[in-house]
Structure 1
Amino acid sequence: MRVGLVLGEVWSGLRRNMSVVISVILVTFVSLTFVGAAIIMQLQVQQMKTFWYDRAQVAVYLCTNSEQSQTCSGKDADKEQIAAVEAALKSDELKPFIDDFFFMTHDQAYKEFTKQFKGNPIVDITKPEQLNQTFWIKLKDPSKSEIIQEAFSGIPGVQSVVDQRSLLDRIFLFLGVASYTAIAIAGLMLVAAMLLISTTIRLSAFSRRREIGIMRLVGASNRFIQTPFILEGVIAALIGAVLAGGASVAIVKFFVQDFLAKEVPFTSYITVDQSLIVPPILILVGAILSSIAAKIAITRYLRV
Structure 2
Amino acid sequence: MRARYILGEIVTGLWRNIAMVVSVIIVTAVSLTFVGVGALMQKQILDMKATLVEQSQVTIFMCSPHSTSASCAGGPATDAQIESARQALEGDVLSPYISSYTERSQEEALAIYQEQFAGEGFVSNFTEEDMPVSFHITLTNAEESAAVVEFFQGRDGVDEVTDLLSAFAPFIDVLNQSTVFALGLAVLMLIAAVLLVATTIRMSVANRRREIAIMRLVGASNLFIRLPFLLEGAVAAAIGGLIASGMLWVGLHYIVQGWLAPTLGQTLITISVSDLLWLAPALILLGTLLSIASSVVSLNRYLKV
Pairing 1:208–2:208 present: yes
The SS at the match of 1:277 is helix
Partner of 1:38: 38
How many residues are paired up? 274
Q: Residue 15 of structure 1: CA displacement?
A: 1.7
Partner of 2:148: 149
The SS at the match of 1:270 is coil
Q: Distance in 1 between matches of 2:43 and 2:12?
A: 41
Q: Residue 91 of structure 1: CA displacement?
A: 5.6
Contact 2:194–2:290 under 8 Å retained in 1: yes
CA deviations on 1:115-166 (whole Å, 9 max, x unpaired) are: 9xxxxxxxxxxxxxxxxx8854232756386597299369964799664323
One-letter amino acid of the counterpart of residue 42, structure 2? Q
Partner of 1:283: 284
Q: Which moved more, 1:263-272 or 1:229-238?
A: 263-272
Partner of 1:139: 138
Instruction: Give the alignment's TM-score, normalised by structure 1.
Output: 0.74
Q: Distance in 1 between matches of 2:296 and 2:27?
A: 19
CA deviations on 1:143-191 (whole Å, 9 max, x unpaired) are: 3865972993699647996643233344323211211210110111011
Q: Which moved more, 1:183-192 or 1:260-269?
A: 260-269
Q: Distance in 1 between matches of 2:257 and 2:154?
A: 46
One-letter amino acid of the counterpart of residue 270, structure 1? I
Partner of 2:254: 254
Q: Which moved more, 1:34-43 or 1:287-296?
A: 34-43
Pairing 1:298–2:299 present: yes
Q: Distance in 1 between matches of 2:299 and 2:254?
A: 41
**Cα 1:146–1:269, aligned 2, differ >3 Å: closer, same or farther?**
closer
Q: Distance in 2 between matches of 1:33 and 1:190?
A: 11
Contact 2:25–2:237 under 8 Å retained in 1: yes
Q: Distance in 1 between matches of 2:296 and 2:43?
A: 33
Q: Which moved more, 1:46-55 or 1:285-294?
A: 46-55
CA deviations on 1:70-100 (whole Å, 9 max, x unpaired) are: xx8x965985555422333356985983330
Q: Distance in 2 between matches of 1:65 and 1:51?
A: 31
User: How is 1:56-95 mapped onto 2 (pairs within 5 angstroms)?
Assistant: 56-60=56-60, 79=78, 81-89=81-89
One-letter amino acid of the counterpart of residue 139, structure 1? T
One-letter amino acid of the counterpart of residue 277, structure 1? W
What stretches of structure 2 of length at least 5 have no aligned partner? 118-131
Partner of 2:54: 54
Q: Residue 7 of structure 1: CA displacement?
A: 2.0
CA deviations on 1:251-304 (whole Å, 9 max, x unpaired) are: 212221122223443633323223321101101101100000111112100249
Q: Residue 204 of structure 1: CA displacement?
A: 0.9
The SS at the match of 1:97 is strand
Q: Which moved more, 1:260-269 or 1:16-25?
A: 260-269
State the Cα RMSD in Å.
3.7
Q: Distance in 1 between matches of 2:302 and 2:188?
A: 24
Partner of 2:128: none
**Cα 1:66–1:141, aligned 2, differ >3 Å: closer, same or farther?**
closer
Q: Residue 103 of structure 1: CA displacement?
A: 7.4
Partner of 1:97: 99
Contact 1:54–1:142 under 8 Å retained in 2: no
CA deviations on 1:36-90 (whole Å, 9 max, x unpaired) are: 11122222223322333322432457899986xxxx8x96598555542233335
Q: Residue 226 of structure 1: CA displacement?
A: 1.3
Instruction: Give the alignment's TM-score, normalised by structure 2.
Output: 0.74
Q: Which moved more, 1:234-243 or 1:248-257?
A: 248-257
Contact 1:17–1:204 under 8 Å retained in 2: yes
Q: Distance in 2 between matches of 1:245 and 1:190?
A: 16
Partner of 1:164: 164
One-letter amino acid of the counterpart of residue 180, structure 1? V
One-letter amino acid of the counterpart of residue 274, structure 1? D
Partner of 1:26: 26
Partner of 1:233: 233
What stretches of structure 1 of length at least 5 have no aligned partner? 116-132
Q: Residue 221 of structure 1: CA displacement?
A: 3.0
